Amino acid sequence: MRPADGWESCRNVLGVRLDAMGDVLMTTPALRALKESAPGRRITLLTSPAGAAVAPLVPELDACWVYESPWMKATAPRGDSRGDHAMIDRLRSAEFDAAVIFTVYSQNPLAAAFLCYLAEIPLRLAHCRENPYQLLTHWLVDPEPGTVIRHEVRRQLDLVATVGARPSHERLSLRIPEAARLRVAERLWGLALDKGPSWVVIHPGASAPSRRYAPEGFAQAAQRLVLESGFSVVFTGDASERPLIESIRAMMAAPAHSLAGELSLAELAALIECAPLLIANNTGPVHIAAAVGTPVVDLYALTNPQHTPWAVPHRVLNHHVPCQPCHKSVCPQGHHDCLRLVDPAAIVQAVGELIEHCGRRGPDRRWGRPQPEPAGSVRD
């Protein structure tokens, strides 16, 4: 690993994070560190279409470029490499001073490093297990998972710290437009949630089947929250998740609201921001909640141990299994036991514990802004 020579003078920096929305959010403290480490530094994010969706809400970013890289699992097969050559030309023309490649430990950074090498970006930083030779000018020997497993946020902060970049604070970043807040407030007034004792948001979807808690479990937990605890329930999801949510509501012997397919990403963030609590699988809205300070009950499949809610009150629920962590999008054993064996009663209990704890922090969260919580609070 070379010392951080040359990085202090970099003003045009590329951050490469080719994963999904939640991964981009978990990278925002490291992006902040890069932004704040040199006056006038400009940060451009190179990311996937899914990651780009949240980029307009990240204040540290000056620009966002979309790239469907052929070495990422979410990229559909294509017939030729013209798009890759076009991206190399575009990167070269932007005259970046440096590039930082952010990966989880199960990903190899060298394809992205080669892209930046061909684009003639002078300084290139990443975690790497093997000697990258000329592909990286600065690299950190990857200790994961052999000797340590860090939270994803800490992993990326440790990476940029090697070139002298440290942030003013380590919270996730998300800037919600005031117009989105106002639209959501109108929706909530229309649902009369201001008149009830409290309410929760439930986001039952997830992109990977291995990370989805059973609809029957969500229905049982939601029904108990309504009938036994007096909560109102608001379900969220995109338009494709409407059938899932309607099936959950049909299984409930209790009323529940649905805003599935009715909110933009900014409005979803605004809804989570003012909610007393979020219940969700391990998916993007969990990291939105962490960014805006909303407590989370996380139905956390044991696929990757690094992505729990960061620096926000939370409960992580799962059932330990011999096959963890599997790093798979589809359960390789076919039983989904790490989530299937979570009792819906545990969700209800976790909600009660978090609401009691967070109620002692200050004002009612139903309509106010979230109160910051120190890192490490109320964790399982």
Determine whether 303 is exposed, middle or buried from the number of CB atoms within 10 Å of its CB (0-12, 13-18, 19+): buried
Please list, in sequence order, all residues whose beta carbon lies within 8 angstroms of the beta carbon of residue 225, skipping any fewer than 6 positions away: 200, 231, 233, 348, 351
H-only helix segments in the chain:
21-36, 49-52, 82-94, 110-118, 152-161, 178-190, 215-227, 242-251, 265-274, 284-292, 337-340, 344-359
| Helices 242-251 + 215-227 axis angle, to 10 | 50
Residue 295 has pLDDT above 50, yes or no: yes
pLDDT of residue 193: 80
pLDDT of residue 319: 83
CB atoms closer than 10 angstroms to residue 39: 6
Residue 154 has pLDDT above 70, yes or no: yes
Looking at the fold, whether 193 and 105 belong to one and the same domain comes out as no
Comparing 131 with 304, the larger pLDDT belongs to: 131
Q: CA 296 → CA 226, 278, 280, 329, 379, distances in Å?
A: 18, 5, 8, 22, 10
Assigned token pair, 317? 């629920």
Q: CA 129 → CA 4, 110, 214, 292, distances in Å?
A: 19, 10, 37, 34
Longest dimension (CA), the chain: 64
Residue 9 has pLDDT above 80, yes or no: yes
Q: What pLDDT band is residue 302 in, cutting at 50, 70 and 90?
A: confident
Domain span at 233: 178-359
Looking at the fold, whether 183 and 136 belong to one and the same domain comes out as no
Instruction: Name the domain count of the chain.
Output: 2
Residue 24 in contact with residue 58, Cβ under 8 Å? yes
In a domain, 167, yes or no: no
Q: What pLDDT band is residue 197 in, cutting at 50, 70 and 90?
A: low
CA angle 65, 208, 301 (to 5 degrees): 120
Looking at the fold, whether 92 and 140 belong to one and the same domain comes out as yes
**CATH code where residue 234 lies:** 3.40.50.2000
pLDDT of residue 357: 82
- State the Cα–Cα distance between residues 85 and 48, nearest whole angstrom: 17
Residue 378 has pLDDT above 50, yes or no: no
- State the Cα–Cα distance between residues 24 and 7, nearest whole angstrom: 22
Determine whether 284 is exposed, middle or buried from the number of CB atoms within 10 Å of its CB (0-12, 13-18, 19+): buried
Assigned token pair, 347? 């969700």
pLDDT of residue 137: 96
Q: Percent of the chain having pLDDT more than 70? A: 92
Please list, in sequence order, all residues whose beta carbon lies within 8 angstroms of the beta carbon of residue 243, skipping any fewer than 6 positions away: none
- State the Cα–Cα distance between residues 138 and 132, nearest whole angstrom: 9
Query: Quick one: residue 212, left, alpha or beta (phi over 0 = left, psi -120 to 50 = alpha)?
Result: beta
pLDDT of residue 374: 39
Looking at the fold, whether 258 and 204 belong to one and the same domain comes out as yes
Q: What pLDDT band is residue 367 in, cutting at 50, 70 and 90?
A: very low
Q: What pLDDT band is residue 222 in, cutting at 50, 70 and 90?
A: very high
pLDDT of residue 364: 42
- State the Cα–Cα distance between residues 376 and 370, nearest whole angstrom: 17
Question: Of the residues 136, 161, 186, which one is the last residue of a structural domain?
Answer: 161
- State the Cα–Cα distance between residues 102 and 152, nearest whole angstrom: 10
Looking at the fold, whether 56 and 143 belong to one and the same domain comes out as yes
Question: Of the residues 161, 194, 218, which one is the last residue of a structural domain?
Answer: 161
Looking at the fold, whether 119 and 187 belong to one and the same domain comes out as no
Residue tagged 């050559």 (tokens):
85
- State the Cα–Cα distance between residues 125 and 132, nearest whole angstrom: 11
Determine whether 163 is exposed, middle or buried from the number of CB atoms within 10 Å of its CB (0-12, 13-18, 19+): buried
In a domain, 377, yes or no: no
Residue 142 has pLDDT above 50, yes or no: yes
Looking at the fold, whether 73 and 187 belong to one and the same domain comes out as no
Give the predicted TM-score (pTM) of the model.
0.90
- State the Cα–Cα distance between residues 377 and 296, nearest whole angstrom: 12
Strands of 123-128's sheet in order across: 63-66, 42-47, 12-17, 98-101, 123-128, 138-141
pLDDT tens-digit series, residues 13-47: 999 999 999 999 999 999 999 999 999 999 999 99
Question: Of the residues 161, 186, 215, which one is the last residue of a structural domain?
Answer: 161
